[in-house]
Amino acid sequence: MSLERCFGIAGTGTYLPRGIVTASDYDRLTGLPSGQVAEKFGVTQRHRAAPDETTSWMADQAARRALSEAGWEPQSLDVIISACGVMEQPIPSTAALVQRRLGLGDSGIPAFDINATCLSFLLAFDRVLAGFALKEWRRALIVSADIASAALDFSNPEASVLFGDGAAAIALEADGPHRRLAHVFRTYGHVADLCRIEAGGTRLRPADGIDRFLAGAKFRMDGPGLFRATSRRFPGFLDDLLGAAGVASSDLHCIIPHQASRAALEHLKRSLPEGRGKTLDMFANVGNLIATSIPFTLAQARQAGRLKAGELGLIVGTSAGVSLGGAVVRW
């Protein structure tokens, strides 16, 4: 079984909401002593979406930039996949809403969602590369947009100040210079409760009592538990991913991680040779953008000229589920 796949990145786009919340704003919101949010959590600021900056609206902004950079007519897309952490609304799929915003509502272009919380993009990317390998599609658009601020509970600083709002879009083409050498994705549902929003789907409903529902609509995270669960699995996972790609960790040039938390990023940097210099870290100013983190960081890496022809990149992260996922790419 080879997971080697050929692809190109024709364009990338990002969008960050106009509104800014600073570390001192977070000190007030969480009731922590002044300076604590910056010091303890590594937060400088986050962007926060206004009511008009909806999930699909932000995704559309990012998508238009990606398509413009690619020089593609939107009508030339073969598929649109939305890969968000949380959907804009339960019905229909977020991808259908984005398709409409892109002016493609009458086009028939297939639009659907893939969801694995913070690793949604990685899985959408994997399924797109399969479609490319089978010549089903030639041009694919993956959009991610998240509004973490919709569900934050500031009485738990760790489960709130880490997260920011934003969007990213990647325009992928079947022919291109890049080679994905390996992809590994592993889910450990036994720790599913460590990271959750319980209300909003079929299980916890307003009819169950409005107070219970409102509590369930908040994001809950056991940060230390999650860090333990993922860091315990991480070394073996990384060995297997690099082994599947046939590369050594010292061969990696550029690390594009999910921006989970300062602790997770520091752990990653320590796990890899020269990890500190190779890892894109935008946690201080942008934060954990949920599913948008990885495509946002990928877009930033590309803009910064970090995807150098022939060099090796690692895309890697963890998500609610709990899942660990990553890809090794030769650019």
Which candidate, 112, 50, 113, places its Cα nearest to that of 84? Answer: 113
Task: Choose among 13, 24, 80, 45: nearest CA to 296.
Answer: 13
- Told to judge if 258 belongs to the known catalytic residues of this protein, a careful annotator would answer yes
Taking the C-alpha atoms of residue 258 and residue 28, their distance in angstroms, rounded to an integer, is 27
**Which lies closer to a second copy via its Cβ, residue 106 or residue 277?**
106
Separation in Å, CA 249 to CA 59, 98, 269, 271: 34, 38, 11, 9
Residue 302 binds a second copy (CB under 8 A): no
Distances (CA, A) of 82 to 36, 55, 69, 105, 157: 36, 10, 19, 15, 29
CA separation for the pair 209, 214 (Å, rounded)? 9
Q: Does 191 bind a second copy (CB under 8 A)?
A: yes
DSSP track, 45-77: EEEE--TTS-HHHHHHHHHHHHHHHHT--GGG-
Identify residues 231-260 at the interface with a second copy (CB under 8 A). none
Closer residue to a second copy in complex, CB, 42/85: 85
Q: Which of residues 170-189 bind a second copy (CB under 8 A)?
A: 185-189
Shortest reach from residue 212's CB to a second copy, in Å: 12
Give 80 or 264: the residue with its C-beta nearer to a second copy: 80
Q: Is-catalytic flag, 267?
A: no
The 76-115 contact track toward a second copy, x by CB under 8 A, reads ----x----xxxxxxxxxxxxxxxxx--xxxxxxxxxxxx
> What pairs with residue 13 in β-bridges?
169
Write down the catalytic residue from 47, 178, 183, 258: 258
Binding to a second copy (CB under 8 A): which residues in 44-73?
A: 54-55
Segment near a second copy (CB under 8 A), from 18-26, 31-39, 198-206, 297-305?
A: 198-206
Give the residue with the Cβ less far from a second copy, 189 or 305.
Answer: 189
Q: Residue 227 Cβ, how far from a second copy at the closest point, in Å? A: 16
Out of 43, 147, 238, 254, point to the residue binding a second copy (CB under 8 A).
147
Q: Which of residues 108-127 bind a second copy (CB under 8 A)?
A: 108-117, 119-120, 123, 127
Positions in 205-224 near a second copy (CB under 8 A): 205-206, 210, 213-214, 216-217, 219
Question: Which is the catalytic residue, given 84, 118, 195, 254?
Answer: 118
Q: Residue 14 or 99: which CB sits closer to a second copy?
A: 99
3-state secondary structure of 31: coil
Residue 147, helix vs strand vs coil: strand
Per CB under 8 A, does 75 bind a second copy?
no
Instruction: Examine residue 98 and say whether the peptide bond preceding it is cis (omega within 30 degrees of 0).
Output: no
Residues 1-40 that bind a second copy (CB under 8 A): 1, 3
Quick check: is 84 catalytic? Answer: no
Exposure class string for 155-174: b at 16+ Cβ within 10 A, else e: ebbbbbbbbbbbbbbbbbbb
Residues forming a β-bridge with 330: 179, 312
For CA atoms 119, 14, 169, 272, the dihedral sign is negative
Residues with catalytic roles: 118, 258, 285
